[in-house]
Amino acid sequence: MGPTGVGKTALSLDLAERFRGEIVNYDSVQVYRYLDIGTAKPTPEERRRVPHHLFDLLEPHEPFHAAAFVEKADRVIAEITSRGRLPILVGGTGLYLKALLHGLFPVEVPEELRKNLKERLAREGLSSLYRELQEKDPEAAARIHPHDRVRILRALEVYYATGKPFSQLAREHGFRPRRYSALKIGLTLPREELYARLDRRVEEMLRSGLLEEVKKLLARYPPDLKPLQSIGYRHLIAYLSGRLPLSEAVRLMKRDTRRYAKRQLTWFRADPEVRWFHPADRKAIFEEVEKFLAGKT
């Protein structure tokens, strides 16, 4: 785990080759087909090195959420371990990982409530519902991106179905039951080094054809799909629609990538079980994995 652009993919490949592992994705956007460059998916060459799972599962218009991820990940992990190999989970969507390791708390949402919120979404727009969530549950709103339609609706559903904020229920549930034994390896870099790396990565994505990728997506799908509101895609859509000049779209893409990395670090650093390493410190990381597999941690 760790912020975007820190080097998780490269480490995961080295770990998989050294420890007979297979890689399981827990990034909420890499599950979608055709969003390749902007999500920094492993390349075809990297995927040929070791087996990869839970990439390219869905069309961009298909919904996906943490509970669906857990169901698919459970199945894949069982298949990997049945072959005597090691599941190595790699990604940046902290909620997906927490749900997998500790489960989710169930809340029954009346269909009439769900329908009402969807009608309000169509009538009032997502920004109005996000402001409402900020009033009802500011703690949850602070963790949810203003464009994340699925999570905004879910938090409001929970609030109105139970009368309690989603964040309060999450604390009460505590995500205490442990569903898997896991070693959590976090990668981090000095902030200035990470930010410079992220700026370079944005430029490399553009050189690699991100704009053409976005054009192809827009030829097949409407621009308001949730995956197309993720970083990079929404910025270049704003450029292609004439709302931003390219230079400003790129500037905002870099800025929002840095902000996203900061939010990821905040999420993961709240977990005391994470063992943090510099991505270049392979020797210490391998030793930590060896101790874990030997039952010594």
pLDDT in tens, 193-225: 999 999 999 999 999 999 999 999 999 999 999
Q: Which residues are paired to 52 by β-bridges?
A: 23
Task: Tell me the two tokens of residue 250.
Answer: 């790129």
Task: Tell me the two tokens of residue 233.
Answer: 């895609």
**Domains of the chain, residue spans:** 8-103+176-293, 111-173
Amino acid in the structure at residue 179: R
> Which ranges of the chain have pLDDT less than 50?
none
Helix (H, G, I), strand (E, B) or coil at 87: strand
At the topology level of CATH, where does 111-173 sit?
Histone, subunit A (1.10.20)
pLDDT at 175: 53
pLDDT at 292: 96
pTM of the shown model = 0.81
CA distances to 8, 141, 201, 202, 247 from 250, in Å:
24, 26, 12, 8, 5
pLDDT at 176: 60
pLDDT at 174: 57
pLDDT at 250: 98
Task: Tell me the two tokens of residue 44.
Answer: 């075809």
In the DSSP assignment, the letter for residue 226 is G
Q: Does domain 8-103+176-293 have CATH number 3.30.70.870?
A: no
Contact assessment for residue 85 and residue 20, using Cβ atoms and an 8 Å cutoff: yes
CA distances to 108, 110, 156, 157, 166 from 162, in Å:
9, 11, 10, 8, 9
Non-local (6+) Cβ contacts of 214 within 8 A are 38, 232, 233, 236, 237, 240
Non-local (6+) Cβ contacts of 32 within 8 A are 39, 56, 57, 58, 59, 60, 62, 64, 227
Q: Give the residue among 166, 31, 141 at the shortest CA–CA distance from 92.
A: 31
